[in-house]
Structure 1
């Protein structure tokens, strides 16, 4: 029987089904019931009803209690979540398990933040008209949120929309990626079992052609989208006056200066570039190396990748580079590699294909005018280019239409601060790969990488409206 999806308290069965295929084996993992426009409208009905009757007035301790129970239930069912992520996303098992840990932390953090009063007192008597008045400002939930999630983190990126929704008293309709819906459905079942009010979380699996239906409904007060830049900006254009948060693509860069801890930089960037076949929007894609150490860095990186970065079956705990999400993604990146080589790039390592896996690939490039540099690769591929001065490196990083995160490897505090000041990205990481993220940081980008921030506290701010109360006792 096909897996149903969740609307309100009902698990909905349909005759139409979506086949979830294994990225590793190309075989059928499961079938999921496929909804249509009418199901999305029903989900909005359920979400609006839950908001009006329950969640907007739900006390903080109840919201915190539900979130705590969800975190505990995910931990209790860790093997099931890990296995589901690995099977439908092709994520190496150690990374899938790490994603489960992150989701536990995300819900735990949301439980703590749900107990905090989101507001502050106002010193209205700082100005003469305010004499004799008292004031406060507090955040109130918006209402129905529409969340669209990608395939690459099918648990934790759903959690980053669901957990702040619950913590702030909103409701949400989730449209998971058609490639990885099983994990989102498992999370929904867990949440409902933990006492989540029916209708606060709705998960509707549907074809992408129906994804715009909630944008036609004025009851949807916010859209939170994680995915490609091309789709994200279309959603923004279609969203009218409603609030939108976009976490889009990137081509994350790292700078390695001559004073860097070289062995550490090599190991950190290799993992940041190739883990999960580079299928992360902050996967390290471009590395700029100071000319005096370029040859040494290149040699050490190739040796490290050859010896330590294993590709293949994601169920093998030693594998870091699993399969691409589907054959079309593999064909796309192979075409980009071939185009770069034909235009003057040099293959330093990798490029081979086995099954649906592309081995870790290192390209040396004389400039940035290649698709593998300018566009989001979303694959286990990294480009190397040398630079002469640190300011040159900063300019190379900024010469991109994306701006999610950037890494800088240096022991010099002035350079670190200069990078923080000048790089046009949402996050600057010193002596860390741009792939690094903690779940409590304000996470998001600039330029075509989107706007708005995730991280539970910051997502709660996006999902709430600040309202002022002024009182004059008489």
Structure 2
């Protein structure tokens, strides 16, 4: 791990710059200061936008081959510097070494897919002569870049979520200004270095580190910004939406993901999947399993096995290969989770395992008998806590699963194809995983939610669709 304090620079239109005012970056495991980054001003943002306007014109003129070449060069740079990415990610985030290895691998995959999808941005011919009087017209529609994009990313996947913004933006011929989380800006800056070293024109990318309170409004309200892509909490998303005015907006705003386990399910598969889905990245995962509804015939057995499997989870140092779970991102978040659990217990919930905090660490926790209207049931926990409850049948499970304001992904475990399709057609979620927990995603699939979980879809080809406009061309002969 990095044990020396470092001053990092931010990237403004291809230039690495320092500022007198800085933000401290800590290792969540031990609160060691590992770096500082510049605290950007409104003037920094104005400069990034000014240069980004030029960058959008440069990007628009890049050929498909040029964009693919840049992205393929980025892939090579990451592959050649995987240890640097891995060290950076483990130091600044909650990820264990095994979780970080997977995220670096996924980042490479995301950029690879972006390079491939650059060649698949197609239009389509239009038969204008379908309408009487237009027999002498022919034409087509084409996809064109939106222009200058602002991307805002959270702390929980500080490398691959950034790749999901930068890769598709460059693939589709846009310029982009990224504002990463102040908790985890180092991975984003390192990925920006990969783009810069790979031949990306300077004006096409800025990575602005700073406080959202100071620079956020300038970023989202400026008329030159043609699209905002945001991953974060619902309240922040609502605030951005209210200020953005007329722009394209794509948002992933978290969830409160359920899984349903029927009595005919593959029992061991369901238990193992739910433990992994609930406690990956210390539960700081928008797809993390939060609520589990288990058919009552198998509830007691499932409860026993789930608690047993949870007891085997090793909570420890992020650098140890044997660690299954690391700390939360900071002590404030760990205290927030602790208060939620204690409040639920005061209202009658039973804590079957866990429920204890040590600094930034919070033990994997399983609750039952939680009042259905308690905040820990209705809102996003974003911590290593899962709630289990019995259900009479699938219909009750679907009703309870749908009875929240979020709708990102859900899971169902069953061997009955009719039950599976019924769940697919009635669960109000952007994704329904059959015989998988809600915590499943590949980087090429459409990803996004319903209700408070967001607007639009990510996943590289679908992000490219969001980051382009449709232009109709018609020739009168």
Normalising by structure 1, report the TM-score: 0.98
Is 1:181 paired with 2:185?
yes
Question: Who is 1:114 aligned against?
Answer: 118
Matches within 5 A, 1:271-282: 271-282=276-287
Give the C-alpha shift of residue 125 in structure 1.
Answer: 2.5
Q: Specify the SS of the correspondent of 1:38.
A: helix
1:304 matched to which residue of 2? 309
Q: Mapping of 1:264-343 within 5 angstroms?
A: 264-307=269-312, 309-343=313-347
What residue is the counterpart of 1:196 in the other structure? 200
Q: Is the Cα contact below 8 Å between 2:259 and 2:289 reproduced in 1? A: yes
Residue in 2 that maps onto 1:399: 403
Give the C-alpha shift of residue 264 in structure 1: 0.8
Structure 2 Cα separation of the partners of residues 269 and 380 of structure 1: 12
Separation in structure 2 between the aligned mates of residue 366 and residue 121 of structure 1, nearest angstrom? 56
Match of 2:292, SS?
Answer: strand
Q: Residue 440 of structure 1 contacts residue 455 of structure 1 at CA under 8 Å; is this kept in 2?
A: yes
Describe the SS at the equivalent of 2:320.
Answer: coil
Cα distance in 2, alignment partners of residues 420 and 130 from structure 1: 44
8 Å CA contact 1:256–1:289 kept in 2: the answer is yes
1:170 paired residue number: 174
- Aligned residue in 2 for 1:345: 349
Residues in 2 aligned to 1:11 and 1:366: alpha-carbon distance in whole angstroms: 51
Q: What corresponds to 2:3 in structure 1?
A: none
Map residues 12-31 of structure 1 onto 2, 5 A cutoff.
Answer: 12-31=17-36
Contact 2:162-2:188 at 8 Å conserved across structures: yes
Matched length: 471
For the residue of structure 2 that corresponds to 1:471, the secondary structure is strand
- Deviation string 1:139-186 (CA, Å, 9 cap, x unpaired) is 110110000000011110001010010000011000000000001001
Residue 437, structure 1, aligned to residue 431, structure 2: no
CA contact (8 A) 1:138 1:466 kept: yes
| Residue 389 (str. 1) matches residue 393 (str. 2) | yes
Question: What's the CA shift string for 1:173-224, capped at 9, x where partnerless?
Answer: 0000000000100111111000011121110101121211122310000110
CA distance in 2 between counterparts of 1:121 and 1:371 reads 51
Is the partner of 1:264 in helix, strand or coil?
A: helix
Q: State how far apart, in whole Å, the 1-side matches of 2:166 and 2:59 are.
A: 13
Structure 2 counterpart SS, 1:271:
helix
SS in structure 1 of the partner of residue 444 of structure 2: coil
Structure 2 residue aligned with 1:69: 73
User: What's the secondary structure of 1:128's corresponding residue?
Assistant: coil
- Rate the CA distance shift 1:6–1:366 in 2: closer, same or farther, 3 A: closer
C-alpha distance in structure 2 between counterparts of 1:93 and 1:228, whole Å? 26
What's the counterpart of residue 456 of structure 2?
452
Deviation of 1:366 (Å):
4.8
CA distance in 2, matches of 1:415, 1:278: 28
| Conserved 8 A contact 2:413-2:434 | yes
**Structure 2 Cα separation of the partners of residues 225 and 46 of structure 1:** 21
The answer for unaligned runs of 5 or more in structure 2 is: 1-5
Counterpart of 1:360? 364
Which residue in 2 is equivalent to 1:215? Answer: 220
CA distance in 1, matches of 2:120, 2:248: 23
Match of residue 86 from structure 2: 82
Q: Shift in Å at residue 355 of structure 1? A: 3.4
Q: 2:128 aligns with which of 124, 132, 135?
A: 124
CA–CA separation in structure 2 for the residues paired with 1:215 and 1:240: 9
Give the counterpart of 1:43 among 34, 40, 48: 48
Aligned to 2:249, the other structure's residue is in SS state strand
Cα distance in 2 for partners of 1:79, 1:120 equals 44
Q: Structure 2: how far apart are the matches of 1:81 and 1:328? A: 26
1:409 matched residue in structure 2: 413
> What CA deviation, in whole Å up to 9, does each residue of 1:66-101 have, x standing for no partner?
111111211111111111111101211111110011
Structure 2 residue aligned with 1:424: 428
**Residue equivalent to 2:248:** 243
Q: For residue 101 of structure 2, what is the aligned residue in structure 1?
A: 97
**In 1: Cα distance, 2:328 partner to 2:256 partner:** 17
Contact 1:367 1:385 in 2 (8 A): no
Q: 1:257 aligns with which of 262, 265, 271?
A: 262
Q: Choose 310-319 or 423-432, whichever is displaced more.
A: 310-319
- Give the 3-state SS of the residue equivalent to 1:199 in structure 2: helix
* Secondary structure, aligned partner of 1:178: coil
Q: Distance in 1 between matches of 2:322 and 2:99?
A: 11
Aligned counterpart in structure 2 of residue 462 of structure 1, from 461, 466, 477: 466
Cα distance in 2 between the residues matched to 1:247 and 1:230: 12
Offset, 1:120? 1.2
Secondary structure of the equivalent of 2:178?
Answer: strand
Residues in 2 aligned to 1:180 and 1:118: alpha-carbon distance in whole angstroms: 36
Q: Does 1:2 align with 2:12?
A: no
- Tell me, yes or no, if the aligned pair for 2:370 and 2:377 is still in contact at 8 Å: no
Residue 2 of structure 1 contacts residue 17 of structure 1 at CA under 8 Å; is this kept in 2? no
CA RMSD of aligned residues (A): 1.0
